[in-house]
Amino acid sequence: MRAAGLLWAALWGLLLPPINAEEGILHAAGNGVPPKTKDYCIIYNSNWTTLPDSLNNATFRILENLTSTVLCSSSEAPPGLLKDKAVVVMRGNCTFLEKAIIAERLGAKMLLIASKPGLSSLTDNKTEFKDVTLPIALIRYNDIMDMQLTLGNEINVTLYSPPLPEFDCSMVVIFVIAVFTVALGGYWSGVSELENLKAMANPGERETRRKKEENVTFTPLTVILFVVICCVMLVLLYFFYKWLVYVIISVFCLASAMSLYNCLAALIGEIPFGQCRIACCNKTIEVRLIFLAGFCIAAAVVWAVFRNEDRWAWILQDILGVAFCLNFIKTLKMPNFKSCVILLGLLLLYDVFFVFITPFITKNGASIMVEVAAGPFGNSEKNDGNLVEVPTERSAPHEKLPVVIRVPRLEYSASTLCDMPFSLLGFGDIIVPGLLVAYCRRFDVQTSSSSVYYISCTIAYAVGMVLTFVVLALMKMGQPALLYLVPCTLITSSLVAWRRKEMKKFWKGSSYQMMEHLDYAGNEEGTATASEQPEGQ
């Protein structure tokens, strides 16, 4: 279970792209007093149509609903009906260009094309539309039906495309969640290390502690093997997304329920009351832990059932995701800084390769990482100017991989009406640097260094997150966050070790410290044994 969880957690070192640059807003108003209004998502091609950037600069047109036709012939609309109006017709049978020429010839000032399959990019040749002046946009057919039910039959509409916000407050929420999770996970790992050292100092508790210990230690060889498995898994997801997405959802439910239980059980263990027990299978179990297990399973099941309910399911996914990351950072131990450098370095190369290099390899020129992380997706084929949605073997409608922290966008824009109203951060951007922060915390405990490594690395992680958001805002495209987090954390940790003249200890890590501890324990035991000898012997 731990291996499966780590596998897909480390796949995602990516902040997904915020929105499509060709999304816009259709603002519709009824004839009531005051007029009832509502906004809808549209897709347009900026090479064909230039839309105003605010509602104040937009011109309203009366909407003529001709969704009973496809407007592939002038005879489908009575003469004079479309004069100075916005017309909406169905998609299909002829090209967007042919519809636009007919609509403009009939006097229309705006063309809306209703699509039942969904919205897709408009990619016809710009030169074909050089003589067409009316705005053209694609809109969901269901939105046209909703418009009539909500606003009535007499509707005025206009199109505009507000500029993308330079910064969205949801990033602040993601920043707080990420830094909190990394800091708390590292601290929890340090507490576990301190308990281990105390148990080793007491021979009577050593065996008991060893049985309770659930940590898994990565060696350099297993780190390399793990990265190879990550690469294979990502490629398999790219080609077999339709089936593997449900495997990942199932693994997430099981792993997150176990992680939530471990996190809450650690808190409950500090409560001195309510510790009544019952006998079961020759063991005694605390009743409160039984109820806790039921609660954690129920939380995972509720998320699984309502995972596509965007209004509130993201809260439950984030809670389960934070619990998973916390438990993972605490459970997986990096034995030394050498292993940390290998893991973070290889995953950085992995992230950069699948984001920036794979577009030169894939047939459609798309990044494997982006396509998998932003699923579902399908191919679009151009058929005489009409984009026809063609389902592929990789598509799994409405299903996305639950390996991200999701926060709704707080700034109003076209994206809040269209396909991606969330800011996203992959679990890998928390877990991978978090393992280094946890190692720093354990090293502080081993060397009694007053948390200097832990605090410095946590601050470096926060700086790396800020740098990621700045580049994301400037470039307006998804960024592999590890590209900024890995150098910040590794360089800071190295500088602290070098400044304190502890690089040898920091590089060799627990094995070096363990040898010193055993030598110290052996010396203490030898001294105690010698002091217990009777005098004169």
Active site residues: 351, 429
| Closest listed residue to residue 66, CA positions, set 94, 90, 93 | 90
Give the separation between CA 243 and CA 400, rounded to whole angstroms: 12
CB-CB neighbours of 108 under 10 Å = 26
**Contact residues for 119 (Cβ-Cβ < 8 A; gap 6+):** 41, 42, 43, 138, 139, 140, 418, 419
Three-state DSSP class for 1? coil
**Quick check: 161 and 413 in contact, CB under 8 A?**
no
Give the separation between CA 164 and CA 53, rounded to whole angstroms: 10
Single-letter residue type at 230: C
Give the containing element (helix H, strand E) for 260: helix 220-268
Single-letter residue type at 21: A
Three-state DSSP class for 182? helix
Q: What is the largest CA-CA distance in the chain?
A: 124
Give the separation between CA 157 and CA 61, rounded to whole angstroms: 5
Would you state the structure tokens that stand for residue 62, as one six-digit string? 């009366």
Give the separation between CA 239 and CA 357, rounded to whole angstroms: 18
Give the separation between CA 260 and CA 242, rounded to whole angstroms: 28
Number of residues that make up the chain = 537
Give the separation between CA 43 and CA 113, rounded to whole angstroms: 10
Give the separation between CA 194 and CA 330, rounded to whole angstroms: 13
End-to-end CA distance of the chain: 57
How deeply is 518 buried, as exposed, middle or buried, from its count of CB atoms within 10 A (0-12, 13-18, 19+)?
Answer: exposed
Give the separation between CA 532 and CA 537, rounded to whole angstroms: 10
Place of tokens 């994206």: 415
